[in-house]
Amino acid sequence: MPDVVRALVAAGHEVVVQAGAGAGARHADAEYGDAGANIVATVDELYAHPAVVVKVAAPTAAELTRLSDGHVVIAFLNPLGDPASIAEIAATGATAIAIELIPRITRAQSMDALSSQATVAGYRAVLYGAATLGRFFPLLMTAAGTVKPARVLVLGAGVAGLQAIATARRLGAIVSAFDVRPAVREQVESLGARFLEIDLPDGDTETAGGYAKELSEEAHRREQELVTRAVAESDVVVTTALIPGRPAPVLVTAEAVALMRAGSVIVDLAAEAGGNCELTTPGQVVDHHGVSIIGTLNLPSSMAQHASQLYAKNVESLLKLLSRDGELVLDPDDAILRESLVCSGGVVVHARVATLLSPEAAR
């Protein structure tokens, strides 16, 4: 974003922006030029000199051929879902920082791009659901009769789920939510939603980083029984459950969808990882006997202005951490860099990513 370019230039950095980079967020090249950036027209020019390369998605095949040991790539790299792509970056000699691996610690909150983008996705998911439902969300009392409020179920009460709950409540819906982590109950109820809870036999449902753990077979069976009953009573279901590095858990089965009323909607935010609904088709909207199942990918891009604003601020905060007197300093003892650095010096240095690769590709 131009304001972040301006801040980086003021901090002593030279900023190069590819022509058209801000078009989707409604920012013209001239705005970047006015902020102090140099505008280049081609990818060759962009990668011509050693630099920190800030992207949204991982480098394309064409970009990989232009990377060298002088480049530091910062982007959503999906290292746990696609470790082979990290090995490809490592083979170029470039250093790479996976922004989604930044730890959820207090000092790193301003750099937490997963949370900022999940906020956008959770908000947008409810709007998609409301627009598709074909019914009012709030209770309405009119001369023509009373309109009952819609019932919304949110599965997963992380950042996206909590934003979905808040948005659905603001629109006037009756909201319920489920999460395997009992600790989020207070957050759910503080937003005015009802928390659905079951006693899970393993009792250990959350990782140290705050993510949900994969459940045992028995716990997953009990979870699905509860979810199936709740889904059948809902007009809109928003699913948000993800496990880093694993396929999304199936929470809404085909049998559960069959119990929903015609006209109901499922918005599956886990579509990129296969989906929380058994019938989700990633990238498509499916009509299953009158139930719309929305598997649209990359929901934050549908709100490009604010998604870009938040992501740009995340990156700015990370660059401040990595900068000393205008120079890049990669401190291996810093907890934030230690958790997010995936490759350097031609090798994969992140232990968890390395274990997903063959011994030849890992240190």
pLDDT at 221: 80
All residues at 6 or more sequence positions from 147 whose CB lies less than 8 Å from its CB, including other chains: 135, 136, 138, 139, 140, 141
Q: Is 305 a catalytic residue?
A: no
Q: How confident is the model at residue 128 (pLDDT cuts 50, 70, 90)?
A: very high
pLDDT at 326: 75
- Check residue 141 and give its pLDDT: 95
Half-sphere exposure of 308 (CA within 13 A, CB side): 18
Please name the residues in contact with 5: beta carbons below 8 A apart, sequence gap of 6 or more. Answer: 15, 17, 32, 35, 36, 37
Determine the average pLDDT of the residues in 209-218. Answer: 60
Q: Which of 68, 109, 190, 358 is catalytic?
A: 109
Percent of the chain with pLDDT over 90: 85
**pLDDT for residue 211 is more than 60:** no
pLDDT at residue 35 greater than cutoff 80: yes
Residues 313-331: pLDDT tens digits? 999 999 999 998 778 899 9
Which pLDDT value is given to residue 206? 54
Confidence category of residue 202, pLDDT binned at 50, 70, 90: very low
Q: What is the pLDDT of residue 358?
A: 72
Does residue 345 carry a pLDDT above 70? yes
What the block records as the tokens of 119 is 């906020």
Does residue 38 carry a pLDDT above 50?
A: yes
Name the most confidently modeled range: 47-61, 219-233, 324-338. Answer: 47-61
Q: What is the mean pLDDT of residues 98-106?
A: 95
Does 66 qualify as catalytic in the annotation? Answer: no
Q: Where in the chain is the domain with CATH 3.40.50.720?
A: 2-111+304-355, 134-297
344 is catalytic: no
pLDDT score, position 223: 82
How many Cα atoms sit within 13 Å of 51 on the Cβ side?
16
Two tokens, residue 273: 């990882």
The pLDDT, as a whole number, for residue 180 is 86
**Quick one: average pLDDT of 1-17?**
95
Residue 210 in this model has a pLDDT that exceeds 80:
no
**Known catalytic residue: 26?**
no
| Per-residue CA distances from 179 to 200, 286, 308 (Å) | 11, 25, 29
Question: Can you read off the two tokens belonging to residue 309?
Answer: 């604003």
Kindly name the residue from 32, 112, 116, 308 that is annotated as catalytic: 112
The question of whether 211 is a catalytic residue gets the answer: yes
Whether 261 shows a pLDDT value over 50: the answer reads: yes
Q: What percent of the chain lies above the pLDDT cut of 70?
A: 94
Answer whether residue 307 shows pLDDT above 70: yes
Q: What is the pLDDT of residue 262?
A: 97
- Marked catalytic residue, from 6, 66, 104, 222: 104
Report residue 117 as tokens. 């983008």
Backbone angle region of 349, left / alpha / beta, with phi > 0 → left and psi within -120 to 50 → alpha: alpha
**Looking at the predicted structure, is the pLDDT value of residue 207 above 70?**
no
Among 3, 194, 211, 301, the active-site one is: 211
The CATH homologous superfamily of the domain defined by 2-111+304-355: NAD(P)-binding Rossmann-like Domain (3.40.50.720)
Over 80: is that where the pLDDT of 342 sits? yes
Buried b (16+ CB within 10 A) or exposed e, 73-104: bbbbbbbbeebebbbbbbebbbbbbbbbbbbb
Position 79 scores a pLDDT of 96
Q: Looking at domain 134-297, which CATH architecture does it have?
A: 3-Layer(aba) Sandwich (3.40)
How confident is residue 205, by pLDDT bands cut at 50, 70 and 90?
low
Q: From the candidates 115, 234, 308, 340, which is the catalytic residue? A: 115
